[in-house]
Amino acid sequence: MENYPKTIRNLTNLQQRIITSVILIPALCVVVYIGGALFLVVATVVLALGAWEFNHLYLHNPANRTSTIFMVAMVVIMCLCRYFFGFYWSWRLFSLCFMLSMVYSVSSFERGNDAAAIGFATLVTGVVYLGWLGSYLIALRQLDQGLVWVVFTLFITFSADIGAFCFGRLFGRHHMFTRVSPKKTWEGYFGGIVFAVGIAFLGHRLVPAVSQLMTRNITLLFATAVSVICPFGDFGESMLKRSFAVKDSSNLIPGHGGILDRLDSILFSMPIAFWFYEIVNSRISQP
């Protein structure tokens, strides 16, 4: 919070959340709608900041020392490669990133970093997490009807979050993972699934653009897959933060924490959406 202007620091957390949402949500809607190079730039910057946060989480333990610049650079390159060259070259680039990470880590060990092996694991994990998974967002927006795919996927992801929150507050009794996320309950988890599937059903019935993407049954299956799997993106990010005893991944977004705090579920939902696109369009050749 010390990095924020004094007027922002003096606001309550709820006030900060509301003001930030009022500013960012319309701006992000415009970026998603326009797509193209603007979407690439914004998505790449967001994922690069996420990589910076990820590495700094690990740096809370000095034994995890590695290069933030190197990780961020590889994530940026992965995003650009996915946009300009697709998956064919992305696989090759990822193999190169893996090898370069090993070269860097060997050099780091030679310079006296006895925990260079841990740094190597951190580098590779960061590239997979933010670079490989994150760039599915870019790949999805480039597809036929990519705008609808991205918006519908985000809508289902957020619906699952909202449903889980509401059902958890109303009916939550049985906790899922008390160490990872003490407030999350099984009632909330299954309530989020039911709510997201219900929203998907209404979306398919009422929005022609959605019904053109998938059949009703595939739409419901898609919503089920997203709402079942994506909460574990949230749990995973919570596990990272609790492992290093921090509340938020950073304070970049007033009232909301960091980039990773907002991306955790989206990093899981976008690959699922891309795979469903391949299924409904019979294009299973991509990884």
Note whether residue 238 is domain-resident: no
Cα separations in angstroms, 216 against 101, 114, 137, 167? 44, 55, 24, 25
Higher pLDDT, 136 or 60: 136
Q: Is the pLDDT of residue 93 over 50?
A: yes
Q: Is the pLDDT of residue 287 over 50?
A: no
Band of residue 286 on the pLDDT scale cut at 50, 70, 90: very low
Residues of the chain above pLDDT 90, percent? 56
Instruction: Please provide the average confidence, as pLDDT, over all residues in the chain.
Output: 88
- Asked if 188 and 108 sit in the same domain, the reply is no
Higher pLDDT, 15 or 52: 52
Note whether residue 93 is domain-resident: yes
Note whether residue 243 is domain-resident: no
With both helix axes pointing from N to C terminus, report the angle between 266-280 and 146-171 in degrees, rounded to the nearest 10: 130
- Number of independent structural domains in the chain: 2
Q: Please report the DSSP string for the chain in residue order.
A: -TTS-HHHHTS-HHHHHHHHHHHHHHHHHHHHHH-HHHHHHHHHHHHHHHHHHHHHHHTTSGGG---HHHHHHHHHHHHHHHHHHHHHHHHHHHHHHHHHHHHHHHHHHHTT-TTHHHHHHHHHHHIIIIIIITTHHHHHHTSTTHHHHHHHHHHHHHHHHHHHHHHHHHH--SBS-TTT-TT-BHHHHHHHHHHHHHHHHHHHHH-HHHHTTS-HHHHHHHHHHHHHHTHHHHHHHHHHHHHTT-SSS-SSBTTTB-HHHHHTTHHHHHHHHHHHHHHHTT-TT--
- Asked if 193 and 176 sit in the same domain, the reply is yes
Last residue of a domain, one of 142, 167, 187: 142
Higher pLDDT, 18 or 36: 36
Section 122-147 average pLDDT: 93
Band of residue 5 on the pLDDT scale cut at 50, 70, 90: low
Note whether residue 255 is domain-resident: no
Band of residue 192 on the pLDDT scale cut at 50, 70, 90: very high
Amino acid 183: pLDDT: 87
Amino acid 172: pLDDT: 87
Q: Is the pLDDT of residue 20 over 80?
A: no
Section 155-172 average pLDDT: 93
Last residue of a domain, one of 89, 109, 142: 142
Amino acid 119: pLDDT: 86
The model scores a pTM over 0.75? yes
- Asked if 101 and 77 sit in the same domain, the reply is yes
- Asked if 182 and 44 sit in the same domain, the reply is no
